[in-house]
Structure 1
């Protein structure tokens, strides 16, 4: 077996969300190399260099021009990504990007199309799919162990203090593209859709509660009809103190599966039960990064393997458009008060 790393990746952007990326890359040494890191504030990059030993790039142009860089992990705020993705795609660099793809569904579709036209792999960071409980639930569904899906329920009772939204641009349309739906709930909604299949129609209510002063929503709820005939509901908020674990409950004709945080519990109608997973933090409380790096590590390794083999990553950009379409429909329905159709992507 070759000792050569599967890929050499550069990390662009060193904000709060990059902590598990850096720790995951550190654990992947030998399997995935880091060609360097880049941040507009060089002091942040140098601090990462001091801690992890990763080289520092002087500019985005240097990243794009580096022949030893196979791909990039982009972890900048959403409003900074389009130009970076275009530059890296033109240079033939594969792209692994933090969620969301872009601030709007149209912007996300354009980004996916750009990478497809350039012939580069685009993967999206939805690390919740790599939890042990989620992997087991997907296997059970593939085997038909729960029977036909009848009902899906997703709840995200998270907390963010006002100080979180005092950071310039956070929770705004201009920088983030929205509030709780596109910044926090998107992870759980993507995981739900990866299990249920696409949503067809949505009836939603969105609001900003008295807990926060912010431009966009900190509360959203919706009834959903899925393409496969199942129905479901979503409740998502960052206004529930002190914050709790998110959950997805799938009710099938043969049993019910509850995925809470990283733990899966299954109760079959014949009396059998099963429990799988870990009880790690999920970032639902005041510390958004209170979770391990394992899921990011496995996702990055999967992306590197896709580059090495020429295959598709576990979460390709086009598949990730489904959650953007659902969020777009929820926002439109919340604004109009009417039931809306989820755009087919």
Structure 2
């Protein structure tokens, strides 16, 4: 199926009916006219049917038959929102059938597995995008524009803070926080969003010195705490700290300190403190906007990612975050794990 063959509305299948599925269905509902939700794939289709309540168009088909999805000519894109442990086989079949893949983060459990997924999509000639919806927040977009404007001077210091809380019930879900299902803990499941957003603004890392741990506040296999010192290719240094054991739950914050100003970026606003004393608040959200810890945010951010991916597929363009670009964040997480286990700093390869 060539790019030119795909017209509006674009047929989409959602593969996976877990926690994030409601957000995707709501996003696809808001994008009706451009996109049509054809099917929802679940191991238990009957249990997934309540998701139809969040879609205002014709009800999608509920199925467990991936072969039928692959053979359906009305489905052009598959949004894969399953646990990382089962993705490789799913994506391989869909990609070989010519379906373009939009993938919930992370790409896979390990860098090696993620590289395999990226390469199989490239061989199949299908687009592979990854849902890093934090880039679509208004403060993130405003920060990207300001950083690109060259008015800030040289970047000197970076702070990445992910101070989250998850109750033990979060990890009591079968397989959550394990290497077999998720590939890790707080870094690959939660903090990867902030890592991706920060690196999209700072450029690549060159060296990491880190420590990870599982606190006494959780019973889980993987880490619920990670801290690292960072060195960037641009010459800046920085810090990274992430945990799901920091009560009460707070928002992720990225701070970038330049020659002429410092930026504070979270989901609600971009704040700029200029060295001449000016303080600016940009892209501020209304006080009535509330995001609960497990909601994943508002569906508008997912909608923006989905619409960007559909446009890329239709035009032959580049998705906001390609599968190959998403490998960068996974390599950073792997480097933090290696540094923690060895007690040594880890050098990262140059990023093209």
Task: State whether residues 199 and 224 of structure 1, in contact with CA within 8 Å, keep that contact through their aligned partners in structure 2.
Answer: yes
Q: Distance in 1 between matches of 2:350 and 2:123?
A: 20
Q: C-alpha deviations, 1:258-284, integer Å up to 9, x for none? A: 00233110111123332123264455x
Q: Secondary structure at the match of 1:16?
A: coil
Task: State whether residues 133 and 263 of structure 1, in contact with CA within 8 Å, keep that contact through their aligned partners in structure 2.
Answer: yes
1:85 and 2:91 aligned: yes
1:327 and 2:330 aligned: no
Task: State whether residues 205 and 333 of structure 1, in contact with CA within 8 Å, keep that contact through their aligned partners in structure 2.
Answer: yes
Q: 1:48: Cα distance to partner?
A: 2.2
Q: Which residue number corresponds to residue 145 of structure 2?
A: 139
Return 5+ residue gaps in structure 2 as ranges.
1-6
Q: Which residue number corresponds to residue 113 of structure 2?
A: 107
Q: Distance in 2 between matches of 1:183 and 1:344?
A: 25
Q: Which residue number corresponds to residue 173 of structure 2?
A: 167
What is the aligned residue count? 339
Q: Distance in 1 between matches of 2:174 and 2:311?
A: 37
Q: Distance in 1 between matches of 2:171 and 2:242?
A: 17
Q: Distance in 2 between matches of 1:106 and 1:305?
A: 29
Q: Distance in 1 between matches of 2:33 and 2:340?
A: 48
Q: Distance in 2 between matches of 1:197 and 1:47?
A: 42
Q: How does 1:1-345 map to 2 (within 5 A)?
A: 5-49=8-52, 51-52=54-55, 53-277=59-283, 278=285, 280-283=289-292, 285=293, 288-289=294-295, 291-344=297-350
Q: C-alpha deviations, 1:11-45, integer Å up to 9, x for none? A: 00010012211111010010111121111111133
**Aligned-pair Cα RMSD in Å:** 1.4
Q: 1:344: Cα distance to partner?
A: 4.3
Return 5+ residue gaps in structure 1 as ranges.
none
Does the C-alpha gap of structure 1 residues 90 and 290 become closer, same or farther in structure 2, counting only changes over 3 Å? closer
Q: Distance in 2 between matches of 1:113 and 1:6?
A: 28
Q: 1:56: Cα distance to partner?
A: 2.2
Q: Secondary structure at the match of 2:20?
A: helix
Q: Distance in 2 between matches of 1:74 and 1:344?
A: 30
Does the C-alpha gap of structure 1 residues 134 and 50 become closer, same or farther in structure 2, counting only changes over 3 Å? closer
Q: 1:110: Cα distance to partner?
A: 1.2
Does the C-alpha gap of structure 1 residues 276 and 310 become closer, same or farther in structure 2, counting only changes over 3 Å? same
Q: Secondary structure at the match of 2:324?
A: helix
TM-score, scaled to structure 1: 0.95
Q: 1:46: Cα distance to partner?
A: 2.2
